[in-house]
Structure 1
Amino acid sequence: MATIIVILINKEYFKIRFITNFLYPISFLSSIIFGIAQLFTLFSKEDILIRKTGKIKITADSFIINKEIISFKDIVSINIDATDYEGRLIGTQTSIKPMYSIGVNNFIKFTTRHNKFEQQILISSFRESKLIYNFLSQQIIKNKFLNVSSRQLISIFRDEFKKTEEARNYIAVKIKERKLNKTEGLLMMNYSSDKEVKELRKKYTI
């Protein structure tokens, strides 16, 4: 970029042929090198060393971590972020950094009365990420997590799931049980307009 500016200034004001002849090849070569670097970036992934230490399995009633079974009913606190996945676009074509994620910026944390668990997890695809959220959300509305706060459980719901009938029924029940206040619960239903919120109040009598 600096080379091009010098060439333009020289062309406009000084007209020294030596400067132009000398800098044109440098500018051309720089452009080629930059283009090649961008091309490599376009297809590159994060350069992070992965060391797999075990597996996490989610069943209808528990997490299984390296053969240790942790029942949902024993969990008192849970936090999960499973939005990263292998191949997720993380850069732009104008940035000199990897374009794609390798899918390891995910974690699951939960606490029982006696232990605390925290694991970083590898997710291979967007479909796998969506399956994790959808499956856990289904277990939540079936009241499998008996000792976790409603707010924390509903925070696991994705925005599109919050609009489903089953999610809204679950939230409405929690409002009526006074585990959520009305305003908070309605916001969690992810409504789109004032008209919709009026309809929700009428439908769920809240």
Structure 2
Amino acid sequence: MTLTENTRLTKETIQRLRAMVFHKEHIKKSSITAKVLVLLYPDKNYSIQEIEDSLRLKKIGQKGTTFNLLDRKLISSKGNDGAKSYFLTQKGRWFAIGQTLNLSFLGLCALADAYGMQGRLEKGNLVGFYVYPRFAEIFEGIYSQENLRFAFEQLKTKKLAARYSKKSLRIIPRVFSDLKRHYHDDLEELQKWIAQIPSRREHILEQDQKLRQNINKSKRIFSKFS
């Protein structure tokens, strides 16, 4: 089902589509939240006291930071109140990488998909590159073309990739090696998650009453002239 910015959807459907891709979940670069995510990456298990000591902060538990991280499913916990420790969820790992690379989450999605595509092509002894139309198609109707273009171009402005041809880019070989060394597993998981977006979007759209009514109306009009 093709979506455009003019496609009429219910407010609930729009909210579900955006929530599906963590739309507008921004984390400020210098925020305590960002610092905690980067500290815990990739697999540290720290108590509140250890987090505070490592970041030289005071009473983050009382400031709502921990609750916010848990509520947004960026971290999880184990143990009882007396010996509770915190660690990153998969979502938290992705956002931690985004903070380290100074990328928005959408920009990180572009990087992960480009990383996977480039890696597969190069395994077949081909030149690996990534095209904008593929990226835009995955997120069509969820993000504006302006936001999609910005996220795609962000890889070049951050010097993670370079222009390959019109509407395409290639991750710089040195950067590709660094990504493989430090973030390979998490980028692969992110690309698998990205690959599920079209089918998950279709499932949500099939439940949209307004869209179904418009489709049925179009079918009735078409049948009159057939």
TM over 0.5: no
- Write 1 or 2 for the structure with the bigger share of helix: 2
TM-score normalised by the chain length of structure 2: 0.26
TM-score normalised by the chain length of structure 1: 0.28
- Write 1 or 2 for the structure with the bigger share of strand: 1
